[in-house]
Amino acid sequence: MSTVPSRARTVIIGSGIVGNSVAYHLARLGWRELVQIDKGPLPNPGGSTGHASNFIYPVDHSREFADITKDSVRQYQELGVFTQSGGYEVARSAERMQELTRRITSAICWDVPAELHTPDQVQEKVPFLDPSVIVGGFWSPTVGVVDSLRAGTLMRERAVELGALTTVANVEVTGIDVERGRVVRVRTDKGDIECETIVIACGVWSPKIARMAGAHIPLTPAVHQMISVGPVPELAAIPGEISFPIVRDMDTFCYERQHGSDMEVGSYAHRPILMRAEEIPSIEQSALSPTELPFTSDDFDPQLEQALELMPAILGNPDVGIRYAINGLLSLTPDGFPVLGESPEVAGLWSAAAVWIKEGPGVGRMIAEWMVEGESEIDGAHSDIARFYPHQTTRHHIVSRTSEAFNKTYGIVHPSEQWASNRDVRLAPMHASEKELGAVFFETAGWERPFWYASNEGLLGEYRDRQDQLMPRSAEWDSRWWSPIINAEHLAMRERAGVFDLSAFNIFDLIGPGALDAVQRVCVQNMDVGVGKVVYTPVLSPRGYFKSDLTVMRLGEKHFRVVTGGAHGNPDRKWFTDNAGPGVGVVDLTSSWTTIGLWGPKARDILGRLTDDDISHKGFGFSSCREVEAAGLRVLASRISYVGELGWELYVPMEAGARLWNAVREAGAGDGLVPCGIGVYGTTGRLEKGYRAYGAELDGERTVVEAGMQRPKVKEVDFIGREAYLRQREEPPASLLCTLTVDDHTSSTGEKRYMLGGEPILTPDGEPLVDGHGHRSYVTSAGSGPSVGKHLLLSYLPPAVAVEGTKLSVQYLGERYPVTVAVAGSTPLFDPENTRIRA
Amino acid sequence: MSTSATTVLVLVEAEPEEMSTLSLEALTFARALAEPAGATVHALVVGDLPANGAGELSSHGAQVVHQVSDPRLAAYSAAAWASCVVDAIGAQSPAVVLAPASPRGNEVIAHVAARLDLRMAANVTEVISAQVQDASTGDAALVVRRQVMGGAVLEELDLVGSPALFTMAGHAVEHTTVESPAPAQVIATAPISLSAADLVAAVRRTVPVASSGTDLTRARVVVGGGRGVGGADQFDELIALAGRLGGALGVSRVVTSLGWRPHHEQVGQTGSRITPDVYLACGISGAIQHWAGCSSAKTIIAVNTDPEAPMVTKANYAVVGDLHQVVPAISSELDARHH
Amino acid sequence: MANVLVCIKRVPGSSGQVLLTGDSMSIDARHVGHTLSPHEECAIEAAVQIAGDTGGAATVLTLGPEGALEQLREALAVGVSSAVHLVTADGGSGDSGDAHGPADVAAAIADVARRREAAGEGFDLILLGNDAADTGDFQVGVRLAYLLARPVVTGARTVAVDGSGPAAVATVIGDGPAGTEEFQLPLPAVVTVKEGEITPRYPSIPGRLKAKKAPVEVIEAPAPVQGTARRALVLPPEHPSTVQILGTDKDTGAAAAAVVDVLHTIGVVTR
């Protein structure tokens, strides 16, 4: 009956909260010729928005989530569809209570009001809750409920008023045409739409739609059970949708949310029930809607018992009946973050998927800014669709990880928590040796990386008189996913030498006549250097915020090699590729090369035993790279360091990695060379040197100046973000990254406690510090500095307090500890003159 | 039918003034079944015939009418009726016995099936194959097609046994008269096997329904309301329009489940089956359950915000829009044209 | 004190488009799930009320696959106190005891009733739904009554039991062609219930938890003798939509005029 326009600038597929929000924000930012389609009717096309419980808890440990949620609430309020109810997260156990104190620290960091309440205080606000069941509650006064369908309608209407949007309901996508790697057309049962870009905002159906274009959106539809019971006289007595705070019963993974005279009970406690997008019934086939599947009561019965325990007064009433019960579908991703941004597989194909009600409008704005302006105000790096490696888009991986994560929806997740499922996907060539050495493996992007080696336990005895440097942790939470062996390995490296498996590096080459132009355009530092030079450089967004930091080797006149972190390497490669310009090829070599790091005072002696080439300081200076013959291999050696010691990164073909690893270990045996884990490489060695890490200190909301990484001169050649960077250099910085030392670790119980990162930095009196962005100061990285004998914290501080010697405090699990600003800026705390690197 | 001696026996129901429509449909169907085989169509009526009952039965193809009379049959009892049917089966040896799939038709035929230990098929729409041999027993069987799931699905089954017992789904055929009917031979009989036990479950009392409006099942116009109406207090416009058209209000199951309207207004598989000239379905999505009750309307006009709702796509006509705007506008238009 | 047996059936949900299994022998309920017939929900409610009013007990029975336990629990959650499950072999796809025809089901129920009777725990009243939502056979209740030599009324809107012992009677109200009909049946009797006047209750949370622990007697269902004689299920042909859109609420006046034109053409508006 209805037809679709034959042309559009952008086709938005989906009319849930996300599609509507993307449409509105694209229109607001000036885009026109937007066509939005949905296979269902309006205003509720039958996706997950239609059955959402529609409540919003603003606190999250993730800054990205917290900021997006805050932005969403602001938009919902502005649309007039937000009702503040307040909300509790209640604890039934001491372990949960500790987690709630940790949530308080996150609330302080992200500037969200919150406080801890006693059971009686909880009962004051929720009179039908049995206080004897709980040990306390986390009170979040700004929790509220929204009308997400109404919000969507209003956003569509605004886009229509701007003359920007045509929405056609009941249109089913039948195909997406891709030509020369770019989307050109959406095919539907009501006609084809020629277009430049497509936004997939189809929630649980997104993987199916993406496949039509040959791309992957790694999410799975999963069941979240919900029942609605009523009529509850206590609730019916007060008019309005919600008069009592929402309660999240954290230890039972359930929530209770008033909805008029009914109480909705939702659960994340049941077994993971996953589907495929292809298995979701059509609107016609569905009993209620495609995302409201028949309730499987057996799965929910245990939760009924727990809900009854918590609220016996109303849920135990025999006249209060279960009036509605569904297996609702929502989207889960392998790492719990949304899937946002342009697909690295198909140009012009954007994903806005795996987004919950609390993030919908914020994500809409983020995607629209990203599309229109090239970057968004809130950094969405953790949600970038480009983050996924191929194995992470497989069904096996998605099912493994979402099944493991489902019951952690309300779980207590340690900041270093490791996945148990689908491990051993990417193994370094020296993996077998590492296993023999008792490596404790942590995973990065599928790589199994040794974090420390049990075989180094003997070092603890060797250093037993230096407990102030080993800094053992007695509290279980602090020592979970940690070992003092890391600190012992660190000391051995600083005193002798350490060998590191760095196979997880993401490596790609830019080759061709346009290669120099390409790296000059993308990188802040001058890349027109001699062949054989290695340059560490920031990479900036157009507005001058960090896109990445990485090293570039010039291997030839027209040949550059980029080495970057495994976790963020794919978005980096996409950024280089998107901005490469003509005459250059970008070649992924991650799986071709392995990297072995060799650092420490004895590094030259050890490498010298394997090569006849000149590796003296004069013959092989810092920041240079070249091929050497070592251990019967041709090795690309690069003299740089992320741990502040003399040494090299040694690159060999993956298949030769084991040989080189063994050769280095043998050559170093006499010098006391130790294998060192990523605990040293990524934390202790790095923090002592004040080296910044992308994703912790460096992200899309911080500048080179704030990070203290500006050099005296800015290269003349234009590069992305140059104009902004020049301006930033002239202005006083909004904040400055500092290294702080913890002055006293002793808690009120007399136990020494060690911060793990993510804690607020406060004045000595406990007042938050606010920087020039309006952000509060928090710990971006935390860890031991064994050689300096201090626990180190990195944090962006307001310039006024970013002064060495300033006394501040850090709040950790409900208590404050004194800290001192040890370094303002990037001067290393250890070996400030960098003499060791240049030895 | 294999032999010309066979008969098809139709249990018909009399309403006070005329034979029930479903009975005439059943007769029409029986005729189509009997004619090719040269079989005779017999009608069986328990109790009184309306004044023109015999004429109606004749004109719809009954060649013989058996009228069973007895004071004990004054109050309806399914078991008593069944005894009369069993008597007739004994006397006529019909090849086929059918009845309309009305509540009584289904009930009585079920009793007959239980008494004779025969199979029964309810809601038959079609006889696919007049006679086959049952593979295992060698017994004769009709292959019939019948409605299940409220007509959303058809079941094909072997109706083994003699006589073949079934009830005819309402409106599976349109009732037609024969071209030049011969008056049926009316044979008045008395029950043979009727026993006291058959009268235990007899109607003790009948209270005519105090109908506030036109009877839903007989109305020429039905105005329907579904979930889209929005609430118990939102039906005024629909009721006004139904009144304006001299019709009745019908509602979907969700409306009665939510307690917005009484159950006797429900149209659907578990409610009434309506056969109006026009059904104006407002805010009804058209789930199977509802469609089962309204699909026999001659003309369907849907009013719905969702142009893809089954009610809309299956309708003859539709207005895409909010019923609370459209329905008052129709009333106004009617007023404007007729004043 | 009336002991009531209510017989129910696990049937596919009927609120979505019907899908058939690959062999066309049963309905594929994968998207719509399984449920009880509305008539049976009312029968359960009637059973619970009669048991409550007379101080008796209500028992629920089903003949069906293992999954039918879900439907027994639904009944147990709203006040039925015990259950009998005649378990059928799950044919894999035919998830509603498809192999048993109405005569087989009636015989199986009759066996249980006789056995209980012999044990001195007979049922004074057996309630069923008027007809099953999926097969619509309209027979099980009547056949059961004949097997047990009890009086039967079908299509009850309400059922109540008065008196006790030999004097106990069930008063049944139903709809007849000429109005509301009243029946009085001496007990024991069989009544099939039709949706309408009885409002089934929703299960409460305590009810649901109680149901989880309620006793369920599990018996292997006797093998079908008559069977269903089903050859196949077929879906009625889909007719392509021929709907003519008369207008939208963007121009309500024009739409209303078009509707009235149609009413005139049909002849339901003549003035």
Domain ranges of chain C: 4-220, 239-271
Bridge partner residues of A510 (DSSP): A560, A586
Tell me which chain B residue has its CA closest to the CA of residue C106: B114
Residue B4 has a pLDDT of: 43
Using CB atoms, pick whichever of C136, C176, C232 lies closest to residue B122. C136
Structural tokens at position A798:
């307001």
Bridge partner residues of C158 (DSSP): C173
Q: Is residue A695 part of a domain?
A: no
With an 8 Å Cβ cutoff, are A284 and C17 in contact?
yes
Interface with C, mutate which of B15, B83, B133, B149 (most C CBs under 10 A): B149
Q: Is residue A73 part of a domain?
A: no
Using CB atoms, pick whichever of C180, C234, C246 lies closest to residue B154. C234
Task: Examine the domain organization and report whether A578 and A535 are in the same domain.
Answer: yes
Interface of B with A (CB under 8 A): 305-310
Residue C240 has a pLDDT of: 82
pLDDT in tens, B113-166: 999 999 999 999 999 987 655 555 556 679 999 999 888 899 999 998 889 999
Mean model confidence pLDDT for chain B = 89
CA distance B180 to chain A (A): 48
Backbone phi, psi, residue B294, to 5° = -120, -5
Interface with B, mutate which of C243, C262, C264, C265 (most B CBs under 10 A): C243
Question: Is any Cβ of chain C less than 8 angstroms from the Cβ of B195?
Answer: no
With an 8 Å Cβ cutoff, are C143 and B113 in contact?
yes
Q: Is residue A5 part of a domain?
A: no
Cite the active site residues of A: 224, 255, 549
Query: What CATH number is given to the structural domain containing A583?
Result: 3.30.70.1400
CATH of segment(s) C4-220: 3.40.50.620
Question: Is any Cβ of chain B less than 8 angstroms from the Cβ of C185?
Answer: yes
Q: Which amino acid type is present at position A240?
A: G
Among A150, A146, A165, smallest CA distance to A24 is for A165
Q: Which amino acid type is present at position A253?
A: F
- Positions in chain A short of pLDDT 50: 1
Using CB atoms, pick whichever of B221, B301, B314 lies closest to residue C259. B301
Task: Examine the domain organization and report whether A732 and A758 are in the same domain.
Answer: yes
Q: Is residue A698 part of a domain?
A: no
With an 8 Å Cβ cutoff, are C39 and B270 in contact?
yes
Q: Tell me the chain A residues in contact with residue B315 when contact means C-beta distances shorter than 8 Å.
A: none
Residue B236, classified by CB atoms within 10 Å of its CB into exposed (0-12), middle (13-18) or buried (19+), is exposed
pLDDT in tens, A486-532: 999 999 999 999 999 999 999 999 999 999 999 999 999 999 999 99
Q: Is A339 in contact with A219 (CB distance < 8 Å)?
A: yes
Bridge partner residues of B168 (DSSP): B100, B124
With an 8 Å Cβ cutoff, are C185 and B201 in contact?
yes
- Containing domain of residue A811, as a range? 722-824
Q: How many Å from the N-terminal Cα to the C-terminal Cα in chain A?
A: 78
Task: Examine the domain organization and report whether A749 and A799 are in the same domain.
Answer: yes
Q: Tell me the chain C residues in contact with residue A328 when contact means C-beta distances shorter than 8 Å.
A: none
Q: Is A29 in contact with A373 (CB distance < 8 Å)?
A: yes
Q: Tell me the chain A residues in contact with residue C19 when contact means C-beta distances shorter than 8 Å.
A: 285
**In angstroms, what CA-CA distances link A480 with A62, A474, A745?**
20, 10, 17
CB pairs under 8 A between B and C: 261
Q: Is the pLDDT of residue B211 over 70?
A: no
Task: Examine the domain organization and report whether A173 and A141 are in the same domain.
Answer: no
pLDDT in tens, A695-729: 999 999 999 999 999 999 999 999 999 999 999 99
With an 8 Å Cβ cutoff, are C206 and A316 in contact?
yes
Q: Quickly tell me which residue has 């017989």 as its tokens.
A: C7
Instruction: Please state the rounded mean pLDDT for residues B284-301.
Output: 87
- Domain stop point among A281, A300, A332: A332
Task: Examine the domain organization and report whether A641 and A783 are in the same domain.
Answer: no
Task: Examine the domain organization and report whether A121 and A238 are in the same domain.
Answer: yes
Task: Examine the domain organization and report whether A448 and A484 are in the same domain.
Answer: yes
Query: What CATH number is given to the structural domain containing A493?
Result: 3.30.1360.120
Query: What CATH number is given to the structural domain containing A88?
Result: 3.30.9.10
Interface with C, mutate which of A223, A285, A289 (most C CBs under 10 A): A285
Number of domains in chain A: 5
Question: Is any Cβ of chain A less than 8 angstroms from the Cβ of C73?
Answer: yes
Q: Tell me the chain B residues in contact with residue C151 when contact means C-beta distances shorter than 8 Å.
A: 79, 197, 200-201
Q: Tell me the chain C residues in contact with residue A317 when contact means C-beta distances shorter than 8 Å.
A: 204
Question: Is any Cβ of chain A less than 8 angstroms from the Cβ of C210?
Answer: no
- Which of the following CATH numbers is that of domain B221-338: 3.40.50.1220, 3.40.630.30, 3.30.1340.10, 3.90.1170.50? 3.40.50.1220
- Looking at the predicted complex, does its ipTM rise above 0.90? yes
Structural tokens at position A41:
């009717």
Residue C267, classified by CB atoms within 10 Å of its CB into exposed (0-12), middle (13-18) or buried (19+), is exposed
Q: Is A328 in contact with A227 (CB distance < 8 Å)?
A: no
Structural tokens at position A276:
């495929």
Task: Examine the domain organization and report whether A280 and A322 are in the same domain.
Answer: yes
Question: Is any Cβ of chain A less than 8 angstroms from the Cβ of C212?
Answer: yes
- Domain stop point among A533, A568, A588: A588
Residue A284 has a pLDDT of: 83
Q: Is A320 in contact with A231 (CB distance < 8 Å)?
A: yes
Residue C90 has a pLDDT of: 65
Query: Could you read off the pLDDT tens digit of each residue along chain C, which spans 271 residues?
Result: 899 999 999 999 877 788 999 999 999 998 989 999 889 999 999 999 999 999 999 999 999 999 999 999 999 999 999 999 999 986 544 444 478 999 999 999 999 999 999 999 999 999 999 999 999 999 999 999 999 999 999 999 999 999 877 889 999 999 888 889 999 999 999 999 998 889 899 999 999 999 999 999 999 999 999 998 899 999 988 778 889 999 988 888 899 999 999 999 888 886 5
Task: Examine the domain organization and report whether A493 and A545 are in the same domain.
Answer: no
Q: Quickly tell me which residue has 């960077």 as its tokens.
A: A725
Largest pairwise CA distance in chain A: 88
Among A536, A523, A549, smallest CA distance to A699 is for A549
* Dist CA B327 CA B336 (whole Å): 14
* Dist CA B244 CA B238 (whole Å): 10
Question: Is any Cβ of chain C less than 8 angstroms from the Cβ of B48?
Answer: no
* Dist CA A402 CA B220 (whole Å): 57
Residue C239 has a pLDDT of: 78
Q: CATH 3.40.50.620 in chain B, residues?
A: 7-199
With an 8 Å Cβ cutoff, are C243 and B159 in contact?
no
Q: Is A596 in contact with A501 (CB distance < 8 Å)?
A: yes
Interface of A with B (CB under 8 A): 1-2, 41, 169-170, 283-284
Among B266, B267, B265, smallest CA distance to B214 is for B265
Element (H, E) at A596: strand A593-599
Task: Examine the domain organization and report whether A39 and A114 are in the same domain.
Answer: no
Task: Examine the domain organization and report whether A459 and A480 are in the same domain.
Answer: yes
Q: Is C7 in contact with C221 (CB distance < 8 Å)?
A: no
**In angstroms, what CA-CA distances link C221 with A53, C96, C105, C112, C119?**
43, 13, 9, 10, 20
Interface of A with C (CB under 8 A): 1, 229, 281-282, 284-288, 293-295, 297-298, 301, 304-305, 307-308, 315-323
Question: Is any Cβ of chain C less than 8 angstroms from the Cβ of B278?
Answer: yes
CATH of segment(s) B7-199: 3.40.50.620
Long-range residue pairs from C165-172, CB within 8 A, at least 24 positions apart, any chain: C168/C2, C168/C124, C170/C125
Residue B219 has a pLDDT of: 87
Question: Is any Cβ of chain C less than 8 angstroms from the Cβ of B263?
Answer: yes
Q: Tell me the chain C residues in contact with residue B110 when contact means C-beta distances shorter than 8 Å.
A: 138-139, 141-143, 154
Q: Is residue A704 part of a domain?
A: no
With an 8 Å Cβ cutoff, are A283 and B305 in contact?
no
Q: Tell me the chain A residues in contact with residue C16 when contact means C-beta distances shorter than 8 Å.
A: 281, 284-287
* Dist CA C31 CA C33 (whole Å): 6
Task: Examine the domain organization and report whether A443 and A545 are in the same domain.
Answer: no
Element (H, E) at B302: strand B299-304
With an 8 Å Cβ cutoff, are A297 and C19 in contact?
no
* Chains contacting B (3+ CB pairs below 8 angstroms): A, C
| Measured CA angle at C202 (ends C197, C203), to 5 deg | 140
**Secondary structure (3-state) at A412:** coil
**In angstroms, what CA-CA distances link A167 with A2, A212, B298, C187?**
11, 21, 35, 64
